[in-house]
Amino acid sequence: MRVTLHVGLSRAGTSYLENLMADQRERLRVAGTVFPFVHPDAQREGAAEVRGGRPALGLGRAEVAGTWRALADRAREFCSRTGGNAVISHPLLSGATPEQVAWAIEALDGLEVHVAVTARDLGRQAVTHWQERVEAGSTTTFAEVVETELRADTGRDAGPDDGGRRPGFWHAQDLADTLRRWTAGLPADRGHLVVVPPRGAAPEMLWTRFAQACAIDDSAIDARVPVRAHPSLGAGEVAALREVNRLLGDRVDRATRERLVLREWAETVLPARAGRPGHVPVLAPAALAPLLREASEGWLAEVRAAGWSVHGDAAALEPLVAGAGAGDPEPDQPVPADLDPEALVASVLAAERPGGDRRPALGAAALQRPYPAQPRVREAGPGGVVPPAPGPDPRV
C-alpha cells in the first residue's frame, strides 16, 4: 500500500501530470492507482492546508481545514481495500517546512510514503518564474529578478513559512533541498527525481518517467490525450502585461484582475501572438549559464550522494539559455506598438463601474478575438498542446 507525494517543483510538469491524472481518474483507478477526489480543488487546498493556509490565493486556514486529512483518508481506504497505490500532487507542497512535512506524512500513517520531485532546467525555470510574478501583478523587470533573486542566493534556510529570507526562486527550485525535507526519516529508495524532458520532446515521455517513479503501469493513462497548456509569453507581451500592472495598480480587486486581465487577456489574447512578426521568445541570457549550471550540478551531486532514484536523463537539466550572439535579445523589451495597455486598463476600469459593460472590448489588443470568459489554462508537458476543457471529476 503505497502513496506517492508529488511535491513539485512549480512549473516543472506538475500541472500537466495533475491534469492527466484528473482527466483520466477512472482509468487510473481501474488500473490500481487512486488520484483521490474530495472535491475538484482538493489537491490544491490540501497542499495549502499543509502550508498553513495561503491567504494570497484566497485559501485561509478555515477554508482549507480538514482537506489534507480527507485526501489521506481517501487514499488509505482505496489502498487498504484494493492493495493498490495512491498519488497526491501539488507544487505548493515543495515549500513546506520540516514541521509541515512531518504533519502531512503523519496523516498518511499505515501507507508506504514515497516522494517524487519533477524538475526542469533552470534556464527555462528562471524565465517562467519571472513570467509567473508578472502574471500575479508584479511590474518587475527580468534584470531586477537577476539582481534581487538569481544573483542574490543567501543559501538554504527554514523557508518563507518560517521566516526564511532566501530568494523565492532558489527556495522553489532547489530540488535537492525539497527532496531532503520531504524524505527526512524515510529510506533512500523512497525519494525520486523525475527529469522533465527537453523542449520539443513528446509529452508522453514525462508521464512515462513519472509513472515509473510512482510504480504505475504507464499504459494506465493515454498520455497522448491533449492537456491544456499554461502559455508562455513573448518578451513584448510580458512588457505589455507589466505596463498594465503598473497602470492598474490596486484599483481593482484580485478576483477582477484575475478574470479580466489574466484569464481573458494574458492567457487568451497575448499567447495568440506567438509566431507573428516581431514576436520575441524569452530566453535567459547566456551570462547566467555558469550560475545556473553550478547550482544544477551541485544539486544533482546531492541527489546521487543521498541515493535517491533519478528517472530520465539528468543531462536535460543543463540550463537552456540564449546564445552569446547579438541576435539573442534580452528578456526586457519595449511594449509592441500594436498593443495598448492604457486602452485595456480603461476598459477594465469601465467594466467595474456601476452599470459598466462586464465584457469590455480590448480594442487593438483583442486582435478581433471573441471575448467570452475563458477557463483558466494549465501547464502542458514538453511540447504541450491545448485540449477541450475536462468534464466533471467522478468520486472514487
Residue 135 contacts residue 262 (beta carbons within 8 Å) = yes
pLDDT more than 90, % of the chain: 68
CATH number of the domain within which 108 lies = 3.40.50
pLDDT band at 389 (very low <50, low <70, confident <90, very high): very low
CA distances from 55 to 45, 48, 64, 254 (A): 11, 9, 11, 12
Is 331 a residue whose pLDDT tops 50? yes
Tens-place pLDDT, residues 185-213? 999 999 999 999 998 898 899 999 999 99
Query: Residue 299 CA to chain centroid, in angstroms?
Result: 20
pLDDT band of 357, cuts 50, 70, 90? low
| pLDDT, tens only, 256-306 | 888 889 988 998 899 988 888 878 889 999 999 999 999 999 999 999 999
Q: Are residues 166 and 261 in the same domain?
A: no
240 and 206 in a single domain? The answer is no
Domain termination site, one of 166, 185, 220: 220
Instruction: For residue 2, give the H/E element and its range.
Output: strand 2-6
Last residue of a domain, one of 189, 220, 251: 220
Pick from 99-113, 228-242, 362-376: least confident: 362-376
Compute the Cα dihedral for 205, 206, 212, 215 and give only its sign: negative
Instruction: Place 62 in a pLDDT band, splitting at 50, 70 and 90.
Output: confident
Q: Please report the pLDDT score of residue 268 as a whole number.
A: 87
User: Do 51 and 90 belong together in one domain?
Assistant: yes
pLDDT for the residue numbered 153:
96
* SS3 (DSSP) at 84: coil
**Rg of the chain (C-alpha set):** 21
Considering 168, 198, 220, which residue would you say is the last residue of a domain? 220
Number of domains in the chain: 2
pLDDT tens per residue across span 124-136: 999 999 999 999 9
Is the domain of 238 the same as that of 367? yes
Pairwise CA distance, residues 98 & 180, whole Å = 9
Same structural domain, 104 and 241? no
Residues 25 and 166 in one domain: yes
| Displacement of CA 140 from its chain's centroid (Å) | 20
Q: Does the pLDDT value for residue 328 go beyond 90?
A: no
User: Residues 17, 166: one domain?
Assistant: yes
Residues 110 and 168 in one domain: yes
Q: What is the pLDDT of residue 375?
A: 35
Give how far Cα 205 sits from Cα of 27, 208, 209, 218, Å. 19, 5, 6, 10
Looking at the structure, tell me whether residues 163 and 54 fall in a common domain: yes
Quote the domain boundaries for residue 252: 231-282+331-389
Residues 6+ positions from 213 with CB-CB distance below 8 Å: 4, 114, 116, 192, 194, 309, 311
Among candidates 130, 117, 91, which has minimal Cα distance to 288? 130
What pLDDT is attached to residue 324? Answer: 65
Asked if the structure places residue 320 within a domain, the reply is: no
pLDDT of 143-201, one tens digit each?
999 999 999 999 999 889 989 999 999 999 999 999 999 999 999 999 999 999 998 89
